[in-house]
Chain A
Amino acid sequence: MSVLASVRDLAVAYRRDGPLALQGIDLDIMPGERLAIIGESGSGKSTLALAIAGLLPAGAVQEGRIGWPGLARAPLGGRDIGFVFQDPAGSLDPVMPVGRQVAEVARAHLGLSWRQAQERARELLARVRLPEPDAIRHAFPHQLSGGQKQRVAIAAAIAARPKLLIADEATSALDTIVQAEIVALIRQLVAEDGMTLLFISHDIALASELADRIAVFRAGRIVEIGATAAIVTRPAQAYTRALLDAHIGLDAAPLFSSERPHA
């Protein structure tokens, strides 16, 4: 199977002579896989997402290579790569109805007429399971809940039928129940459209529920990468083990001493 994207010896600094946010990154993204990038703050996981999407800010310095053997040409942001950010309010225009924002993506990248693009937006809003898509497409972002806004952002991200969907902490600002719904939605959309998923998260448990492979990042480098089962059950690196141990699951032992304070 040919590789979708191949990252070779990638290094990124946000300013010339600044500290390296990423260094020595070698990574192949396989078509159709769900790859999770996990790490703590400062690990470089979001920098990797931005570099792959070509969204690094002006002034950032990038060395190494990101190749796209799985595409016939250099990728177009928004067309070949859909991006969902942590804060949906930041990626949506506050003064444009949400249906129009989704339609703009479809029109710009798929060469649709305005009427066709509007129809595609309506389909997409239904596909991301927004209630009453006919009515909600006239709503402005501030009239929607956080989860609904993230559904709109996902509809816009997949509007041009991208090969690669990047979700960067896309559920971190949502409560647990809405997070689970959005993760289920992403899983379904990726499967139905045969998209490749790059899922960036600080939460190794959440990543394990969704990903085929997990890459663990720390301080700008890859600690280890492997199949989810291997990373979760037989991590090769002590740092990965520490992240797994720090997860407080529903079966974790109590942290407090067992005597009750008022017993």
Chain B
Amino acid sequence: MSEEAQAALPLAGIRVIDVATVIAAPYCATILGEFGAEVLKVEHPVGGDALRRFGTPTERGDTLTWLSEARNKKSVTLDLHRPEGVAIFKQLIAESDVLCENFRTGTLEKWGLGWEVLRQINPGLIMLRVTGYGQTGPYADRPGFARVAHAFGGLSYLAGMPKGTPVTPGSTTLGDYMTGLYGCIGVLMALRYREQTGRGQYVDAALYESIFRCTDELAPAYGMYGIVRERHGPSHNDFACPHGHFPTRDGKWVAISCATDKLFARLAQAMNRPELASSSIYGDQKTRLEHRHDVNEIVRDWCGSLTREEVLERCYATATPAAPLNNIADIFGDRQFYARRNLVALDVPETGETIIIPAVIPKLSATPGRIKHLGPKLGEHTDEVLRDLLGLDETQIAELRSKRVI
């Protein structure tokens, strides 16, 4: 993309400091970077962000997740345990618009970098603070990870076979990404407010809150009727039947979802048994939920008599909501993923390895986001930033490096 096109991105001219680790708050910075912000990833000089070691390593040493999620960022090393590091950090804050952090509560304060200090340096600063439990409340000091947030926020309890062991709800990092999304919304709101009033603020995001917010009527139903939602395994939920996963003859799985009676009528047609959707049999959601075992059995038998491809073809022909349970190999072979360009390949310059990563979403028509480069090497941009942004000379930089401040 040309320099001119980049300048037109919505966040061109916005500078973000990402001093956070792993995925939650850093993913907010990733999105801001995709849409034009300059993101400075501030890392400890030894080892850097733990995300560099999370998951599968590459030839360069950094892991795949790092290369993907640190896309577009510039790496600047700085030891915040040292007074000189703190002083440089404050200079960076004075030159920036947004700060993303996810230390345990009180950590930045301990280093003399709490909100009250930072806002004096830069009254327009927007600070995203992500923790497991938030900055306030009785559990604020507890360590929090996405797995714990899935449990605490009420999601894990709802995944698994009835009364069986609750399972991971698909991925152990959902809560991290979702909190990155909420954080990003908060930052964009705060940026807008700042541009109207000049006032900065902080966004206080808790991993568990992102999970809990996505539980539709779970809370009101308990509040009003005392309904405790349970896990139901694979094939229905509290409101819809059939709604779940069914094995096909070739040992694969399909998902079918009939949220309304109309959709069940389409499924009945796909199964060549339109009579099932008559009001005297299973035409009403209420009846289907009451007889869910029988209904699921009928769908299971039908799916089991056909290959995955055959089931899907018949469902699509009648516009029944259905899909394969894709594994990643299925995804790499799928036309829709290709047509939407959901996978992009980039080379690691140092090793020549080609890495495939998920492309930018959401898709904007006039100002599409972009991936300029993969996650940087540790400290790759330290000199550039200290020299060009903070005006330090080569001698000063060399001295900081010899003292391991950077």
Q: Do A and B bind each other?
A: no
Interface of B toward A, CB cutoff 8 Å = none
